[in-house]
Amino acid sequence: MVWITRERPKIDRLACPWLIRRFIDPTAEIVFVPESQVGVQAQLLNATPFDVPGVEYSHYEDQCTFDYFLQKHNLTDPALLAIAPIVRGADTDDHSLAPQAAGLWAISAGMAFNIPDDQQLLAQGMIIYDALYSWAKHMQSVKHTQSPTERLLLEVLHTYLKPTGKRKTPNWVKELKELIQDQIDTNLTLSLNELSESLAVNPAYVSRAFSRYFDDLSFGEYIRKLRINKAVHLLESTQYSLSEIAYLTGFSDQSHFTRIFKKLMGQNPSDYRKSGRKSKADTKG
């Protein structure tokens, strides 16, 4: 079967041919032509057009053509369903849909820039999407490595748990606080349960040991406090939306961010930002 679409593919027009050949029609021929020629060439070649306006295999509302292929052909493989929001986010420039969307767009745009021949571009795209599928199928929970902060925290907790007979603040506490603060605006994913499992120590004991030197807060409370401090800085110094700030400070969504911010700061982040702007305006006046 012949499938036809616009030339110079990047996201949907590489993802869909990959999906066709891997799950729908292994011997499919994919043809790329100028957009103005898709309709004419589709009739001449008896080809099925896709990812162009006015055809069946296209975008619908906020869904991209890849989504329609999944629905049309009843493809329910969980790995494909995990790939769908990545493709959709990259194709629609809504990178909030999946953290991998921005990377997929960057790689796809770079390939299109480097490779002028569309069939060669498709061949490389098949490799990219085979790799993405393998990740989605087998490796979503695999981490590349522990973060430096996590390794340090494990090391210092091992040191702390060795009996010393003294009750003074260890030398590493100040350094640890600074390192956590340095890392708070990155993907900080420290888990007390993971730490406890690694240490072979009850989580409650680790929690008590941590809170003794960190403002009498649990590990989770301390991290949350630093995230709110970072959010305050972003509210005061940037024009990021609340959803963007929630993402950058590690909250699951804007609602969660707003709830925790209000609990710790006494007002919603939007009200905090407004009051800050008003205060600056009054000062200028």
Domain count, the chain: 2
Which of 139, 158, 182 is at the close of a domain?
139
Q: Rounded to an integer, what distance in angstroms lies between the CA atom of residue 45 and that of residue 7?
A: 16
The reply to whether 24 and 110 lie within a common domain is yes
Whether residue 218 has pLDDT greater than 50: yes
Q: Rounded to an integer, what distance in angstroms lies between the CA atom of residue 76 and that of residue 19?
A: 12
Position 209 in a domain: yes
Q: What is the pLDDT of residue 173?
A: 62
Q: Among 97-101, 111-115, 220-224, 258-262, which stretch is predicted with the lowest mean pLDDT? A: 220-224
The reply to whether 87 and 197 lie within a common domain is no
Position 194 in a domain: yes
Range of the domain at 41: 2-139
The reply to whether 152 and 125 lie within a common domain is no
Position 172 in a domain: yes
Which of 91, 109, 139 is at the close of a domain?
139
Q: Rounded to an integer, what distance in angstroms lies between the CA atom of residue 201 and that of residue 204?
A: 9
The reply to whether 118 and 235 lie within a common domain is no
CATH number for 206: 1.10.10.60
Position 241 in a domain: yes
pLDDT tens for 123-152 read 999 999 999 999 999 988 776 554 555 455
- SS3 call for 57: strand
The reply to whether 218 and 156 lie within a common domain is yes
The reply to whether 133 and 190 lie within a common domain is no
Could you count the other beta carbons within 10 Å of the beta carbon of residue 273?
19
Whether residue 192 has pLDDT greater than 70: no
The reply to whether 40 and 152 lie within a common domain is no
| Tokens, residue 148 | 């430096």
Q: What share of the chain is helix, strand, coil (3-state, %, to 5)?
A: 65, 5, 30
∠ Cα 145 95 245 (to 5°)? 80
Q: Rounded to an integer, what distance in angstroms lies between the CA atom of residue 25 and that of residue 29?
A: 9
The reply to whether 182 and 233 lie within a common domain is yes
Which of 111, 139, 167 is at the close of a domain?
139
Q: What is the pLDDT of residue 234?
A: 87
235 residue type, one letter: L
Quick one: average pLDDT of 175-195?
51
Q: Rounded to an integer, what distance in angstroms lies between the CA atom of residue 69 and that of residue 28?
A: 14
| Tokens, residue 104 | 């997929």
Q: What is the pLDDT of residue 171?
A: 60
Position 285 in a domain: no
Does pTM surpass 0.75?
A: no
Which residues partner with 50 through β-bridges? 57
The reply to whether 10 and 128 lie within a common domain is yes
Phi-psi region of 179 (alpha: psi -120 to 50; beta: other; left: phi over 0): alpha
Share of the chain above pLDDT 90, in %: 48
